[in-house]
Amino acid sequence: MVTQDDRPIQLRGVNRAMWGVACLNGHVTQGPVSLEGTNAIAAWGANAIRIQLNEDCYLGINGVPAASSGAVYRDALGEYVKDANESGLDVILTLGFNAPGSELSTQEETMADESHAPTFWADVTHQFGNNRAVIFDLYNEPRPFDGATTPAAWSCILNGGNCGDSAFTIGDYTFTVFPVAGMQQLVDLVRQDGSKNVLMIGGAHAANSLNDWLKYEPKDPMHDLAASIHVYNNSGTLTSEEHDIAPVAAKVPVITGEMGEDGQQFTGCSYSYDSQYTAWADSEYVSYLAFDWDDWKACDGLITNYNGTPRAPYGTGWREHLLKDAAAPPRPDWLWR
C-alpha cells in the first residue's frame, strides 16, 4: 500500500468496537464523536483506526432505536471519519454485527448475510467510496463450518451460498445457517460504481488463518485487496503465525485488523505477546491495529478515559510502542513493488 505521493505505508493503530454495540441501546457509540477524540488517538502515534459497524444500525432496520440508527448513525459516522482523517488517521470500516432477515444484529454471524449485507455495502460505498483514506473490511471474522479452515470453508468465504448444515455454539453465541454473501459478490458490488478503496478480505476461522487465502483470493479489477488476519495471545504461537502469514504478505498487503491479549480476563492484560508480534510484523511490513480503544474495565481496554490515558500494563505498552515507532522506515522496493 502506498500514499497519494507513492510513499509506502504501514498502518499502526487501534480499534473502536462500540459502534457495533452501543447503537442497540440508543447511543450511536460510546465515547466522543469529535476531533478531540480522534486527536487523542493520533497523539499515541497511531495512523489508523478500525471501526466495527452494526448492519441494522447503519440501515435503520429491525427495530433499532431511531435515536441511534439510520440517518443519525450514518451522519455521526461521516463526521467521525472526517475528524479521523483530519487527525491524520486512515479509517477501516468493517461489518461487525449482522443478522439475516428480521433478526436483530446483536452479534457477528458466520458470514455476511445475503439479506442485508449487499445493501449495507452499497450504501457504505455510496457514502465513502470517493475517500481513498477509508478502507473497507468486508466482513469482520468469517467462520463458516464452525470456524473450519477447510476448502469448503474457504469456498464459502469466496462464493457465499448456503454454508454448513447445522447450527453451532461458541461460548454464549449460537450461530445459525442462512444464505450468506461471499467476498467475490461484495467485491463486485463495491467496484461496480468505480470505487477505488482498498478492500480487506478476512481469513477463515474467524480471520485467524490465512492458510488458503491466496488460493481463494477474490478477483478485483482494481487489484487493491489486502488480507485481513486477527491474532491474540491465545490464537497460536508466533512461529505458527509467521508460517501462516508470511507467504501471503510476500504477495499482497496484510493488515492485522485486530490483535491483543485475551479479553476474557478482568485483571489487567500483560503486554508481552503484542511486542513479539509487532516486532515480527514490522520486519515484514505487516500492518496491525490493537483492540480496543474503549474505557471498559476488561483487560483489553487500552484506555481509562477517552482523553487517551492508557490502562496499565496493556495500554501503556501499546502507547509506548506506537509513539516509539510512529515514523516507520520506508519499505524497501523489493518488498512492496
Number of domains in the chain: 1
Q: List, for residues 306-321, the tens digit of each pLDDT value.
A: 999 999 999 999 999 9
Is the model's pTM score more than 0.85?
yes
Helix, coil or strand: residue 202: strand
Residue 255 CA to residue 239 CA, distance in Å, equals: 18
| Contacts of 213-220 spanning 24+ positions with Cβ under 8 A | 213/248, 214/247, 214/248, 214/251, 214/252, 215/154, 216/154, 216/155, 216/157, 216/158, 217/252, 218/158, 218/183, 218/184, 218/187, 219/184, 219/187, 220/187, 220/191
pLDDT > 90? residue 243? no
pLDDT > 70? residue 170? no
Percent of the chain's residues with pLDDT above 90: 74
Q: For residues 35 and 27, is the Cβ–Cβ distance under 8 A?
A: no
Q: List, for residues 276-302, the tens digit of each pLDDT value.
A: 999 999 988 999 999 999 998 777 899
Helix, coil or strand: residue 130: coil
**110 in a domain, yes or no?**
yes
**49 in a domain, yes or no?**
yes
**62 in a domain, yes or no?**
yes
User: Could you tell me the CATH number of the domain that includes residue 288?
Assistant: 3.20.20.80
pLDDT > 90? residue 270? no
* Residue 173, domain extent: 12-336
- The sign of the torsion formed by the CA atoms of 100, 102, 103, 104 equals positive
Helices (H) and strands (E) in the chain, counts: 12, 12
**5 in a domain, yes or no?**
no
Assign 168 a pLDDT band (cuts: 50, 70, 90): low
**2 in a domain, yes or no?**
no
Average pLDDT over residues 114-124: 98
pLDDT > 90? residue 238? no
**52 in a domain, yes or no?**
yes
**1 in a domain, yes or no?**
no
| Unique residue bearing C-alpha cell 512461529 | 239
Spatial neighbors of 125 by CB under 8 A, at least 6 apart, are: 136, 189, 190, 193, 195, 197
Residue 83 CA to residue 36 CA, distance in Å, equals: 8
Q: Report phi then psi at 157, rounded to 5.
A: -60, -40
**272 in a domain, yes or no?**
yes
Residue 299 CA to residue 20 CA, distance in Å, equals: 19
Q: List, for residues 51-88, the tens digit of each pLDDT value.
A: 999 999 999 999 999 999 999 999 999 999 999 999 99
